[in-house]
Amino acid sequence: MSSATGTGVRFCGIELAHPIINASGTFDAIAARRAFGDELDRRFPFSAFVSKTVTVAPREGNPPPRLWELPAGLMNSIGLPNKGLEGYLAHDLPELARLPVPLIVNVMGFTHDEVARLVRAFSSREEVAALELNVSCPNVETGTLIGSDPREVVALLDVVRPLTAKPLIVKLTPNATDVAAVARAAQDAGADAVSLINTLRGMALAPDSAKPWLGGTTGGVSGPAVRAIALAQTHAVCSELGIPVVAMGGVQTGADAAALQAVGATLVAVGTESFRDPLAGERVAAELDDLVVGAEP
Amino acid sequence: MSSATGTGVRFCGIELAHPIINASGTFDAIAARRAFGDELDRRFPFSAFVSKTVTVAPREGNPPPRLWELPAGLMNSIGLPNKGLEGYLAHDLPELARLPVPLIVNVMGFTHDEVARLVRAFSSREEVAALELNVSCPNVETGTLIGSDPREVVALLDVVRPLTAKPLIVKLTPNATDVAAVARAAQDAGADAVSLINTLRGMALAPDSAKPWLGGTTGGVSGPAVRAIALAQTHAVCSELGIPVVAMGGVQTGADAAALQAVGATLVAVGTESFRDPLAGERVAAELDDLVVGAEP
Amino acid sequence: MRGGDRVLAPFGARQVPIIAHERHGAYHVLRCADERGPRPRAGQFYMLASARRWGGGASQRPFVPRAFSVLRAPAGTDELHFLLDVVGPGTERLCELQVDDGLSILGPLGIGFRFPRDGREPLLVGGGVGIAPLAIWQDELGSVSALLGFRDAEHARGAALLSGARVATDDGSRGHHGLVTELLQERLVAEDHVEVYACGPPAMLEAVRAMCAATATPAQLALESGMACGYGACFGCVVPTTDGYVRLCVDGPVLDAARLQSALVPGAPQ
Amino acid sequence: MRGGDRVLAPFGARQVPIIAHERHGAYHVLRCADERGPRPRAGQFYMLASARRWGGGASQRPFVPRAFSVLRAPAGTDELHFLLDVVGPGTERLCELQVDDGLSILGPLGIGFRFPRDGREPLLVGGGVGIAPLAIWQDELGSVSALLGFRDAEHARGAALLSGARVATDDGSRGHHGLVTELLQERLVAEDHVEVYACGPPAMLEAVRAMCAATATPAQLALESGMACGYGACFGCVVPTTDGYVRLCVDGPVLDAARLQSALVPGAPQ
Ligand SMILES: Cc1cc2nc3c(=O)[nH]c(=O)nc-3n(C[C@H](O)[C@H](O)[C@H](O)COP(=O)(O)OP(=O)(O)OC[C@H]3O[C@@H](n4cnc5c(N)ncnc54)[C@H](O)[C@@H]3O)c2cc1C
Ligand SMILES: Cc1cc2nc3c(=O)[nH]c(=O)nc-3n(C[C@H](O)[C@H](O)[C@H](O)COP(=O)(O)OP(=O)(O)OC[C@H]3O[C@@H](n4cnc5c(N)ncnc54)[C@H](O)[C@@H]3O)c2cc1C
Ligand SMILES: Cc1cc2nc3c(=O)[nH]c(=O)nc-3n(C[C@H](O)[C@H](O)[C@H](O)COP(=O)(O)O)c2cc1C
Ligand SMILES: Cc1cc2nc3c(=O)[nH]c(=O)nc-3n(C[C@H](O)[C@H](O)[C@H](O)COP(=O)(O)O)c2cc1C
Ligand code: FES
Ligand code: FES
């Protein structure tokens, strides 16, 4: 499945310098530039940049607290804060276009119409190399989590696939009985790639209280705690798919990335580990490269 | 939902000394007696004993390796080794009947007939206080994981519910899109209680190899790594159910148990933590008791 | 946003040696030698973790690094000092570190204190471990007044980290018996040309905010909130302001009190 | 199953102090004072963990305790000695422990060595860290022959833990240049009334098993497999025998070689 040559890799027609990208919502290149200055661009850790989920309307996100630390992991209820489509196009896109790597825009809509609007808007922007569809959200009409139901995913892709020639990556939710079935449906409905895993639904109570800690009541679990689950789901999905897979979930080392590639992933995304060190992606890519080189006869 | 008085608790008509029991398959009282002698019975850590899953036919279990340690957790592919119904009745039941606490027998069948046979067999044994149905297994006819599909659970309960007057606890799988829907179906079809969570599907590769480490290829993830997921699922289930809930998943302390009770669980089971200390259940019960007492005005 | 109040951080966490670990009453001061980093501004912070064995404590934590205001960055040295109060697994692990142990640091991060407006006299108000950013600010401003509140005399030994501070303790075991905000109230009544710089527990900061608002005194508050990354990546550290939620790690941690309806940040470490 | 070869463990993990931490070449010996435990039998093992900070190493491990044969339990003392080889995060953490640090122990567990059949002469064969259970067995049996194999001279310093051992090293830097099984082969050819007690890496044990089978020499092998609990709770530590899978922690770790088709246990630590 992987078309890596040395460390360079081709993904949906896009040439990438190495197989490590960031997970959506875990690296804000614009904020990082404020904190680290130009060094960010000179030493960008990822071979492509995936932006945080963009929605049609601006969103404030969930009330704090938004974070809860777990044994070997993290739980968040960020709630997809973003400037909305207009704000993103006006303020974020020009800044992100300056990055030295291709840009993948992650979008989410609460109706087919919203997703269609987002896909159409980005389809015509040459700054955008690919689109990632975040389907970890309920269909507001049916109430089902779109990403957990193959039929919902097909219905969505039937609407948006014809709207763009850009690569469409469907980001699957792990909170589903049969993730591989959803992935297969996405492939059959024209997705160019799938990505997984998004966060697992979790919850924590405030210490010394019986109240939920997170402002959003439940949150999404990520980090090393989900690594084995991510590998199992990636394995299941890759076993059934012909299109490329972007795998993520708890990646901390080149060995973790290599395992995801061994079960079939083309690209590997680093998420939570970037919180521990903004250069985690660079380290993972280097470690992976050493493993690949080391493994050659 | 909880009917705890002091630390004593009533569960499906059974009086228990405290709310902490063991998770099925994580404590073998017979082996523990060989290792620790009579002290096991004098100081039994749990208020009820849940036996490892019993199937109709004897099972060897999966080939080793069966264990993989995770960040803050464990993955197993044990494969339900057991002596089979006849062996259990002949060898295990008499030994377990000597325990100072009520016995809950966990059973699994690959067909409705098998489950019916197991339920009937234990229904007449007065040593058995309740039955737990492990539905984390595929329906061999349809291929679906029974516990992930409300209709499959109803179909199973329609067959076995009439066969026994003993409390029937349905042990849910967490590998399902909507665990609460399955729980509701179980309740509506006559379950006396539900228990959750069972292990989450995971996988690991052998170090320096691209081969699955576990003899069973995939395994089940347990321990602190799944604690937040267990709390979210328990919360979702308890919000919709009137019957008692036995909650488990990553419990290490009285505070962890208290959180599960705060979202509605009546009993809390300790699983993986017993591997770190066979007296973990006793400690958790004591800590929980301190919290409850400490919280009184 | 005044960019001038921010010193940029080198990109990436770097490992530095601990060069001293001192006790000041109930508090710990960790000093490290940061050869490769710039001198921070007062009010900026760093994300810290032990270079080894960051984890394995209560609840198998810590996992993400922890935020700490810089206490002091003595001119002419490459030293960074941090003041720590042990409240959980992260601070516990950091306070195990000894000389020559490795500390992982990312920073300086965030926006620090700005100089007083219209020639106002700075007035520092600190509570507990929140005195940390006031020490480096006093180093920069020269000998300005400081009012510091502590639980008891043992904690009040931290007051020695600033010069000439007036001290209040909750139990009266040292200085004024009562809240530091009572000392502030006196000052606000007596003088009207001050600018307040405050850091401390949420309830103290909220009292400071309300008093300053009532007397139209400008105030800069160094807030805290739970952080995972410290550089704007996770969107986890937001606090509500009059312009909506802002990420404290990139738009703070120092915020103008006028931007806050309340300084009681939900879920902030107490 | 001979119950007599098992000393029961007190129920529950108990915390004991480290009283010495010695180096023997590449190996570590940890001594602890186990006031509340019984004297173990040779070949029994304990589950060990550090009392504090068990975790936080590579891959956020260790999490479950680790199995170690008792190396020695000197008569008339409450001491337990363990021999450790650092191979991963668990052994790394244990080998950080210093005198007075707390060690969590559960044991003695499992079934140890049985005395030789029909007046046979015991012959101990050990490889690497697998010499551990042979030391306590030699203490019990008196001065019986031991053949020990190591990687190199640095590791071979562990041979001093037994008395009068013949040593082989892979690189010839001490003793016989070659495999310890070559020494065994000589002995099996020369004598026929021995019973072999062996512990070491899977490949060595398998060679021992095959040689003993070929010469109809009874052998007791102390095996290893990945364990989570050590007391039969998890069913994780099974090895295939002629009677099907058996849990090594309750039915072993010493198994009669005749019960094995192969000593190459899948997934055993190497
Ligand atoms: C900008 C900034 C500057 C700071 N400067 C200093 C300083 O100079 N000195 C200093 O001592 N401290 C400072 N702090 C606070 C410091 O970061 C915290 O005390 C530290 O993070 C606590 O970590 P811990 O693991 O010890 O405690 P935790 O266990 O993390 O507990 C701290 C608080 O977090 C909450 N909490 C408890 N469990 C969890 C969990 N699992 N996940 C999430 N939250 C939880 C509770 O509210 C608890 O009171 C600063 C914080 C910020 C944001
Ligand atoms: C009965 C018995 C007695 C023993 N006696 C001794 C003794 O006296 N002295 C001694 O030094 N050792 C002894 N051992 C071996 C010892 O238990 C192991 O070396 C130890 O568990 C290794 O832990 P670790 O974390 O250091 O290494 P690990 O990282 O656990 O690596 C050890 C091996 O486990 C496997 N492994 C790697 N990662 C994982 C993972 N995530 N999950 C599961 N397996 C993994 C690999 O095969 C690796 O080689 C004994 C083992 C048994 C069962
Ligand atoms: C704080 C945080 C915010 C996230 N925001 C988004 C998001 O906006 N869109 C999205 O598709 N996934 C989001 N994710 C999910 C990640 O992209 C990723 O799927 C998940 O965290 C698993 O990878 P990890 O374990 O490496 O973090 C977020 C994750 C975290 C931790
Ligand atoms: C080694 C092991 C074996 C298990 N065997 C069974 C089993 O036989 N039947 C069953 O219903 N659940 C079984 N479980 C699942 C546990 O009962 C429990 O649902 C799960 O481990 C979550 O709890 P914990 O995190 O406290 O371990 C097993 C779990 C482990 C770790
Ligand atoms: S701490 Fe992550 S955005 Fe502020
Ligand atoms: S180690 Fe758990 S059964 Fe043997």
Neighbours of C251 (CB within 10 A): 22
Q: Residue D139: which pLDDT band, with cuts at 50, 70 and 90?
A: very high
C53–D53 CB contact, under 8 Å: yes
Which residue on chain A is closest to D61 by alpha carbon?
A: A72
> CA B51 to CA B85: how far, in whole Å?
13
Give the whole-angstrom CA distance, residue C145 versus residue C153: 20
* E strand map for B32-181: 49-50, 67-70, 73-76, 103-107, 128-134, 168-171
For residue D149, what are the CA distances in angstroms to A190, D22, D72, D170, D196?
61, 21, 19, 8, 15
Cβ of C251 less than 6 Å from ligand 1: no
Atom number in ligand 6 closest to CA D67 = 1
Contacts 24+ apart (CB under 8 A), B91-98: B92/B30, B92/B51, B93/B125, B93/B127, B93/B128, B95/B29, B95/B30, B95/B33, B96/B29, B96/B30, B96/B49, B96/B51, B96/B127, B97/B127, B98/B41
- What pLDDT is attached to residue B143? 72
With CA atoms as reference, the chain B residue closest to A233 would be B202
Binding partners of C (≥3 Cβ pairs within 8 A)? A, B, D
Neighbours of B283 (CB within 10 A): 18
D102 interfacial to chain C (CB closer than 8 Å): no
Give the whole-angstrom CA distance, residue A178 versus residue A163: 28
Asked if C8 contacts A37 with a C-beta cutoff of 8 angstroms, the reply is yes
CA of B273 to the centre of ligand 6 (A): 13
Q: What is the pLDDT of residue D29?
A: 98
β-pairing, B267-270 with B245-248? parallel
How many angstroms is it from D20 CA to the middle of ligand 6?
A: 29
**What is the structure's pLDDT at B22?**
98
Tokens matching residue B203: 């996988």
Strand partners, B212: B205
Please tell me the predicted confidence (pLDDT) of residue A144: 76
Residue B164, pLDDT > 90, answer yes
Say whether pLDDT at B3 is over 80. Answer: no
Ligand nearest to the CA of D65: 2
Strands A267-270 and A20-22: parallel
A249, A232 in Cβ contact below 8 A? Answer: no
* B12 counts as catalytic: no
Residues of C in contact with D54 (CB under 8 A): 56
What distance in Å separates residue D149's CA from the closest CA in chain A? 30
> What is the Rg, in whole angstroms, of the alpha carbon atoms belonging to chain D?
17
A87 touches chain C (CB under 8 A): no
Can you give the pLDDT at residue A59?
96
Q: Which of B275, B279, B282, B283 to mutate to test the interface with D (most CBs of D within 10 A)?
A: B275
Average pLDDT, chain B: 94
pLDDT score for A109: 95
pLDDT band per the 50, 70, 90 thresholds, residue B195 = very high
Q: Does D55 touch chain C (CB under 8 A)?
A: yes
Q: Which of A226, A179, A281, A222 is nearest to A78 (CA)?
A: A222
- Provide the annotated active-site residues of A: 137
Q: Which ligand is nearest to the CA of A222?
A: 3
pLDDT tens-digit readout, C209-246? 999 999 999 999 999 999 999 999 999 999 999 999 99
Q: ∠ CA(A145), CA(A148), CA(A153), 5° rounding?
A: 85
- Distance, in Å, from the CA atom of C159 to the CA atom of B230, rounded to the nearest integer, reads 45
Nearest ligand to the C-alpha atom of residue C50: 1
CA of D226 to the centre of ligand 2 (A): 6
Residues of chain C contacting D53 with CB distance shorter than 8 Å: 53, 56-57, 93
The pLDDT assigned to C269 comes to 55
Ligand 6 atom at shortest distance from the alpha carbon of D230? 1
Q: Pick the more confident residue, D2 or D101.
A: D101
pLDDT of residue B136: 86
Rounded distance, CA C97 to CA A103, Å?
41
Q: Do residues A156 and A115 touch, judged by C-beta distance below 8 A?
A: yes
- Confidence bin at C268 (pLDDT 50/70/90): low
How confident is the model at residue A6, as a pLDDT? Answer: 56
Whole-number percent of chain B with pLDDT over 70: 96
pLDDT higher than threshold 80 for residue D4 = no
Which chain C residue's Cα is nearest to A82? Answer: C235
Supply φ then ψ for residue C133, to 5 degrees: -70, -15
Q: Which ligand is nearest to the CA of D66?
A: 2
Give the three-class secondary structure for A179. helix
Neighbours of chain D (3+ CB pairs under 8 A): A, B, C
Band of pLDDT at residue D1, cut at 50, 70 and 90: very low
Whole-prediction pTM value? 0.97
| D115 at interface of C, judged by CB pairs closer than 8 A | no
C60 close to B (CB below 8 A): yes
Say if D270 is an interface residue toward chain C (CB within 8 Å).
Answer: no
pLDDT band at B295 (very low <50, low <70, confident <90, very high): low
Ligand 1 geometric centre to CA of C199 (Å): 14
Whether residue B1 has pLDDT greater than 50 = no
A295 band by pLDDT with thresholds 50, 70 and 90: low
> Is B250 touching A (CB cutoff 8 A)?
yes
Q: What average pLDDT does range C240-269 have in this prediction?
A: 92
Give Cα D225 distance to the centre of its chain: 12
Q: How confident is the model at residue A3 (pLDDT cuts 50, 70, 90)?
A: very low
A240: which residues sit within 8 A by CB, 6+ positions away?
Answer: A180, A183, A184
Provide the β-strand partners of residue B67: B76
Which is the closest atom of ligand 2 to the Cα of D91?
Answer: 26
Residue D269, pLDDT above cutoff 70? no
- Report yes or no: C193 and C216 within 8 Å, Cβ to Cβ: no
Q: How far is the CA of C240 from the centre of ligand 3 (A)?
A: 23
Query: Would you say B154 and B188 are in contact if contact means Cβ atoms under 8 Å apart?
Result: yes
Asked if the model's pLDDT at residue C2 lies above 60, the reply is no
Q: Decide if A40 touches C, using CB distance below 8 A.
A: yes
**What is the identity of the amino acid at B272?**
T
The CB density around residue A231, as the number of other CB atoms within 10 Å, is 27
Neighbours of B92 (CB within 10 A): 20
Does the CB atom of residue C106 touch ligand 5 within 6 A?
A: no
Banded model confidence at residue D192, pLDDT cuts 50, 70, 90? confident
What average pLDDT does this structure show over B62-71?
97
Tell me, using a 6 A CB cutoff, whether residue B62 lines ligand 4. Answer: no
Q: Is the CB of B55 under 6 A from ligand 4?
A: no
Per-residue pLDDT of A84-119, as tens digits, reads 999 999 999 999 999 999 999 999 999 999 999 999
Give the count of Cβ contacts less than 8 A between chain B and C: 5
Which ligand sits nearest to residue C251's alpha carbon?
5
Which of A52, A224, A275 faces C229 most closely, judged by CB atoms? A275
Q: What is the pLDDT of residue A294?
A: 63
Contacts of B30 in chain D (CB under 8 A): 232
Interface contact A250, partner D, CB < 8 A: no
Q: How many contacts, defined by CB atoms under 8 Å, are there between C and D?
A: 24
The whole-chain average pLDDT of chain D stands at 95
Ligand 3 site residues, Cβ closer than 6 angstroms: A 23-26, 52-53, 74, 76, 78, 80, 106, 134, 171, 197-199, 222-223, 226, 248-251, 270-273; C 234
Confidence category of residue D38, pLDDT binned at 50, 70, 90: very high
Partners of C59 on chain B (C-beta within 8 Å) are 224, 252-253
Q: Is C232 in the pocket of ligand 5 (CB under 6 A)?
A: yes
Nearest atom in ligand 6 to the alpha carbon of residue D234 is 2
Hey, are the CB atoms on C233 and A40 less than 8 Å from each other? no
Is C233 near ligand 5, meaning CB less than 6 Å away?
yes
pLDDT tops 80 at residue D2:
no
Predicted confidence (pLDDT) at residue A297 exceeds the cutoff of 60: no
Q: Ligand 1 pocket: which of C224, C227, C247, C248 to mutate (most atoms <8 Å of CB)? A: C224
How far is C230 from C110, CA to CA, in rounded Å? 8
Q: Is C254 in the pocket of ligand 1 (CB under 6 A)?
A: no
Q: Which of B30, B32, B137, B204 is catalytic?
A: B137
Q: What is the mean pLDDT of residues A116-136?
A: 97
Chain A residues inside the 8 Å CB shell of B178: 148
Question: A107-116, A129-138, B258-267: which range is least confident on average?
Answer: A129-138
Question: In chain D, what percentage of residues exceed pLDDT 90?
Answer: 93
Cβ pair D228:B215 closer than 8 A: no
User: To test the ligand 1 pocket, which listed residue (C48, C68, C111) has its Cβ within 8 A of the most ligand atoms?
Assistant: C68
Q: Which atom of ligand 6 is nearest to the CA of D249?
A: 4
- Mean pLDDT lowest among A54-63, B2-11, B218-227, C102-111: B2-11
Q: Picking from A161-165, B162-166, D29-33, D139-143, which range would have the lowest pLDDT averaged per residue?
A: D139-143
> In this structure, which amino acid lies at residue D257?
A
Question: Model confidence over D65-100: pLDDT tens digits?
Answer: 999 999 999 999 999 999 999 999 999 999 999 999
